[in-house]
Amino acid sequence: MAAEEKLYRVALREALAEEMERDDSVYLVGEDIGKFGGAYRVTEGLLDRFGAQRVVDAPIAEEAIVGSAIGSAMLGLRPVVELMTINFSLVAYDQIVNNAAKIRYMFGGEAKVPIVIRMPGGAGHQLSAQHSHSFEVLYGLIPGLLVVAPTTPEDAKGMLKSAIRTDNPVMFLESMSLYNVRGMVPDGDYTTPIGKAAVRRTGTDITIVGVSRMAVLAHEAAKQLEEEDIDAEVIDLRSIRPIDWQPIVESVRRTSRCLVVEEGWATYGVTAEIAAGVQERCFDYLDAPIRRLGGAQVPMPYSLPLEKASIPTSEDIKKLAREVVGRKPLDG
């Protein structure tokens, strides 16, 4: 299949446009997504193309946006909500947890909520403590939600299409730092399944599982570790709920070692869940304790040096990987 290099944000836009073309019930709602084209320019041009009825500029009221979208989804529409950042989703958390996630179950399947809530998370842009969260875990822990975090333009497009087509609520976690990432995107209509992890690199010495943008950093770290004769396998979790255990377990049983990385706080984090699950499934295969790496357990500092120090880097990943493998760094 032919492919073309595209930006992550463009891949998302294509997914939205193609699904709106394919299905009239799909509509977009969010703050500044119409005239302004979206805070991160994902929806640029879509208002002109699909009109104000399908690209709805909403007031600054996340609870109302999500609540109305849930209602419309129950009545047969397929809303794709854009929240400006994951930080503002806290305002809508009650709607997401108590309505989106539970209605299908509580109504015995008579109502369903085919809603997608897109929102970027992560830190690294000096947006300070209130606007730099990685809240994968807040949604990952809620039964009834599907939670995904694509890291490549191809996955961004393919998984957004899958998300729009599924009849269950999907939390679609983008990353502020990934919008400008380029990558090959297949031509034509394709979907990437939700609930599947991706092995980004095969290796024999250690399995590094990365969550969201940390999968990208883990891949970078793995390439550099090769020079130190550490052959790391990298798994991009992609789906935070449900977790695709099979490739992780198969990998750890081969490498006998595991490191899990997320940008958010590791205590009670996604990494804690992965580490616990791997331990249950691979105990007799482990040659070293499973380690996890997350961001500094502080409100994100505004100061640039402090912010940098608070977010895991590929160097941090390499350092911990060496420890798990039992190797000293090259420079002592």
Partner 1 sequence: MADVNMPKLSDTMEEGTIVEWKKKSGDPVKKGEVIAEVESDKATFDLESESDGVLDIIVPQGVPAKIGAPIARIGAAGEAPAAQATPAAPAAKPAQEAAPKEPAKDVPKEVAKAKEPNAEPVAAASSAPPSPKPAAQPAPATQDGNGAAAGSADVKASPLAKRLAAELGVNLAMVKGSGPEGRIVKEDVQAAAAGKTAPQRAPAPAAVRPAGPDVEVVEPTRMQATIARRMAEAKTTVPEFTVTVEARVDLAVSMRQQLKDSVPGADKVTMTDFLVRACALALRKFPEVNSSWVDGKFQRKRRISIGLAVAPSQGMGLLVPVVHDADLKDLIQISIESRQVIERARSGRPAEGDLSGATFSISNLGMYGVDEFVAIINPPEAAILAVGTIKEVPVVDAGRIVPGKVMRMTLSVDHRVFYGATAAQFMAEVKRLIENPVTLVVPATQ
* Active-site residue set: 62, 131
Is 57 one of the binding residues for partner 1 (CB under 8 A)? no
Q: Which is nearer to partner 1, 51 or 326 (CB)?
A: 326
**Is position 326 an interface residue for partner 1 (rule: CB under 8 A)?**
yes
Binds partner 1 (CB under 8 A): choice among 251, 256, 310, 314: 256
Among 5, 229, 280, 315, binds partner 1 (CB under 8 A): 229
In angstroms, what is the minimal distance from the CB of 330 to partner 1? 8
Name the E strands within the chain.
3-7, 26-30, 55-57, 78-82, 116-121, 146-148, 170-175, 182-186, 198-201, 206-210, 232-236, 239-241, 258-265, 291-295
CA distance 16 to 10: 10
Q: Is the peptide bond before 242 cis (omega within 30 degrees of 0)?
A: yes
Q: Closer to partner 1 by CB, 44 or 287: give it.
A: 287
Give the binding-site size for partner 1 (rule: CB under 8 A). Answer: 16
Q: What is the DSSP letter of 205?
A: S
The two tokens of residue 313 are 């880097």
Nearer to partner 1, 242 or 329 (CB): 329
Question: Shortest Cβ distance from residue 223 to partner 1 (Å)?
Answer: 16
Whether 312 and 214 have beta carbons less than 8 Å apart is answered as: yes
Nearest of 318, 325, 319, 326 to residue 224 by alpha carbon = 318
Q: Does 250 bind partner 1 (CB under 8 A)?
A: no
Q: Shortest Cβ distance from residue 203 to partner 1 (Å)?
A: 11
Q: Smaller CB distance to partner 1: residue 43 or 256?
A: 256
Scan for tokens 């730092």, then name that residue: 177
Contact mark string toward partner 1, 263..302, x via CB under 8 A? --------------------xxxxxx--------------
Q: How far is the CB of 14 from partner 1 (least distance, A)?
A: 42
Residue whose C-alpha is closest to residue 14's, from 54, 55, 42, 48: 42
Q: Based on CB atoms, which residue is closest to partner 1, 41 or 327? A: 327
SS3 readout for 76-139: CCEEEEECCCHHHHHHHHHHHHHHHCCHHHHCCCCCCCCCEEEEEECCCCCCCHHHCCCCHHHH
Closest CB to partner 1 among residues 62, 205: 205
Q: Which of 102, 110, 46, 47 is CA-nearest to residue 76? A: 110
Least separation in angstroms between residue 321's CB and partner 1 is 13
**Count of beta carbons in the 10 Å neighbourhood of residue 250:** 16
Q: List alpha helices for 115-200, DSSP H.
A: 136-140, 153-165
Give Dmax over CA atoms of the chain in angstroms: 63
Does residue 93 touch partner 1 according to CB under 8 A?
A: no
Q: How far is the CB of 275 from partner 1 (least distance, A)?
A: 14
Say whether residue 328 binds partner 1 (CB under 8 A).
yes
The residues binding partner 1 (CB under 8 A) are: 228-229, 231, 256, 283-288, 323, 325-328, 330
